[in-house]
Every structure is written in structure tokens, then in C-alpha cells.
């Protein structure tokens, strides 16, 4: 049996009839003759299955005909014993996986990013961090300032403190921020309730307690339930920018990138100059069903201006412990 007969596909119509039915162009027919291809046996990859002159299916079919007895290259088996290791799924990992799949499946998510100026906060923190650790017993990081500013700005954008439902967008009246805590085996999100009523020092202490309890596996169910918006500080791991996934049923999550000194262009009435500022990226992921890009942009701009306006002991930032 010849090679051309061996690889011929069954057909109920002649090649001439197939060409007429598919309307092959003269260029395609010429190419097929040169390659020795029967177009009736080619399934085109063009629109509606149409065969075109550049269709790779033509040359691919010609190649299979030219080597009718060629065997496929052997596939080297992968030995699970030597080339891979199976890591059993813990209950926490299964829960996180299910939660994240649900989040991506249920909500169309978009991430907007803004660069914020932390210079004033950085200078204050550098001057106070040693004394604060001695007094409070915990570190004074950037996170309490970000949480305080977020809790202050969020009521101005209630649509971000909400959840989607088939009946409409349900806006929470209270603000309870989930604080994402990285653990060796996964992630926990304990809830900081009513952070707007707390001082910077109070937020720092509460977060430190939450992190410690999470790391020790002592969080109670009620401590990880009821968040209305989440803050994730992936900058602590040196990550510059990220696109955090929503914590359902919330419609917004704020990711904070690495904060550090950067050279930036400074403008004043005398012209432009290069200066050193402490800056970091604010990454807001949101449910696009409920929130438009303009709202996300306005929220980030307002959050940036709040952080940049930091003045020790004044207004929002008044704190008897600092």
C-alpha cells in the first residue's frame, strides 16, 4: 500500500467537488499542486475552516504524506520518584485555593496603581521607632499609617466598602479592615474592627497582636470574619508592585508595595530639580461590576494626599502615644 493511500482520509466527494464547494483560490490550488497535497483532505484553519495560501495546515499535511511510515518521537516518561515531589494539600491551602478561585470566577477584577509619597511619615518614623519599640514593645512600621489613612478615606468612597449582590450593591455602614498576614503554610486575614477610632499606636499594637496570634495558630473564627475591605502589605517581602486578588465578598483590596528612597523630579516656581523622596506604590484591585476606574483613581489620589499631608500631632494624626 503506498504512502499516499495509507494516509488518505475517507471522503464522500471528489477533490474537484471539494474545491468547488470550498472555493479555493487559484493561489491555494497552485500551492497544493506544488506540494502534492489533496485539498479535500485538509482541514483549514482560516475563517469558517477555509484553507488559505499561508495556512500551515497545507504544509503540515504535506509533511505527513512525505513520511508515511515515520514513527512519532518517543516521549520520555517522567519519574515521579526522581523528578518531582508531591506536597500534600493542607486544609488551609485547600481553603485558600477555593477562596481565590471563587474570587476570580465571580468578579471581573481590575487593578489600578498610584505612587504615594511617604517622606513625611518616613522622617517621623525614623525619629520615633526606637522609643516606640521600647514603650509599646512592637515595631513602628509604615502599615499603621496606611491603615489609619485608609480608614479615614474609605467613608468618602462608600462604594469601595461594599459587596455585590444580584439585588444591588450592598454598602456596609461600618469599616472593618482585613489585614493579610503571610504564614509559612498560607495566608490569614484577621480583622481590625473600626480602625478609624484607633490611634496610630493603637493600630500598631492591634496589628502586632493579630500577627502574633495568626503565626501561633490561635486566631478564633470571629477574628477572621466580617471584614469589609482588605489591606495587604506585600512590600514587606520586597515586592514593588502587585495585583492582589479580592477577598470575597469584598469589592476592594489595597496592596502596598515596597517603600523606599527614590530619585524623583521636583517642581517649584524656580523650575525642576532632582530630589530624594520616600515613595511606594498603592495597588487597588476592585470588582469592576461595582466600581469604575474613575472612582478607583479618585480614591488612590485622595489616599496619597492624606499620606503626604502627615504632620505629627495634627488633626487625623494626633496621637498622645507618639
Residues labelled as active-site residues: 288, 292
Measuring CA to CA, which residue among 65, 64, 58 is closest to residue 40? 58
Q: Which three cell numbers stand for residue 119?
A: 517622606
The string of DSSP codes covering 29-85 is: HHHHHHHT--GGG----SGGG---TT-HHHHHHHHHHH-TTPPPPPPPPPPHHHH--
Whether omega before 249 lies within 30 degrees of 0, making that bond cis, reads yes
Residue 312: alpha-carbon gap to chain centroid: 34
Q: What is the C-alpha separation between 223 and 230, in angstroms, rounded?
A: 14
* Backbone φ and ψ of 51, nearest 5°: -90, 130
Q: What is the C-alpha separation between 189 and 179, in angstroms, rounded?
A: 5
Q: Which three cell numbers stand for residue 269?
A: 516656581
Judged by DSSP in three states, 317 sits in helix
Task: Give the Å distances, CA to CA, from 250 to 91, 160, 173.
Answer: 23, 8, 14
Say if residues 293 and 118 touch (Cβ distance below 8 Å). Answer: no
Amino acid at each position: 500500500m503506498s504512502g499516499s493511500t495509507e494516509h488518505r482520509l475517507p471522503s464522500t466527494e471528489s477533490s474537484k467537488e471539494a474545491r468547488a464547494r470550498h472555493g479555493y483560490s487559484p493561489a491555494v490550488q497552485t500551492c497544493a499542486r506544488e506540494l502534492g497535497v489533496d485539498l479535500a483532505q485538509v482541514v483549514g484553519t482560516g475563517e469558517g475552516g477555509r484553507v488559505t495560501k499561508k495556512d500551515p495546515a497545507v504544509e503540515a499535511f504535506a509533511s505527513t504524506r512525505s513520511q508515511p511510515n515515520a514513527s512519532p518521537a518517543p516521549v520520555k516518561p517522567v519519574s515521579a520518584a526522581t523528578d518531582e515531589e508531591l506536597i500534600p494539600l493542607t486544609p488551609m491551602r485547600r481553603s485558600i485555593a477555593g477562596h481565590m478561585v471563587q474570587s476570580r470566577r465571580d468578579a471581573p477584577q481590575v487593578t489600578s496603581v498610584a505612587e504615594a509619597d511617604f517622606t513625611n511619615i518616613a522622617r517621623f518614623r525614623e525619629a520615633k521607632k526606637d522609643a516606640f519599640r521600647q514603650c509599646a514593645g512592637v515595631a513602628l512600621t509604615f502599615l499603621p499609617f496606611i491603615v489609619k489613612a485608609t480608614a479615614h478615606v474609605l467613608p468618602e468612597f462608600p462604594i469601595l466598602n461594599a459587596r455585590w449582590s444580584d439585588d444591588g450593591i450592598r454598602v456596609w455602614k461600618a469599616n472593618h479592615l482585613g489585614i493579610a498576614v503571610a504564614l509559612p503554610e498560607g495566608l490569614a486575614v484577621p480583622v481590625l474592627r473600626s480602625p478609624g477610632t484607633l490611634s496610630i499606636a493603637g493600630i500598631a499594637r492591634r496589628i502586632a497582636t493579630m500577627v502574633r496570634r495568626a503565626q501561633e495558630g490561635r486566631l478564633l473564627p470571629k477574628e477572621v470574619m466580617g471584614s469589609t475591605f482588605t489591606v495587604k502589605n506585600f512590600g514587606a517581602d520586597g515586592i514593588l508592585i502587585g495585583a492582589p486578588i479580592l477577598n470575597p465578598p469584598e469589592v476592594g483590596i489595597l496592596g502596598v508595595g515596597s517603600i523606599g528612597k527614590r530619585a524623583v523630579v521636583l517642581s517649584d516656581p524656580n523650575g525642576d530639580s532632582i530630589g530624594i523622596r520616600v515613595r511606594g506604590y498603592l495597588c487597588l484591585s476592585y470588582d469592576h461590576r461595582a466600581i469604575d476606574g474613575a472612582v478607583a483613581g479618585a480614591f488612590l489620589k485622595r489616599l496619597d494626599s492624606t499620606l503626604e499631608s502627615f504632620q505629627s500631632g495634627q488633626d487625623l494624626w494626633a496621637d498622645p502615644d507618639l
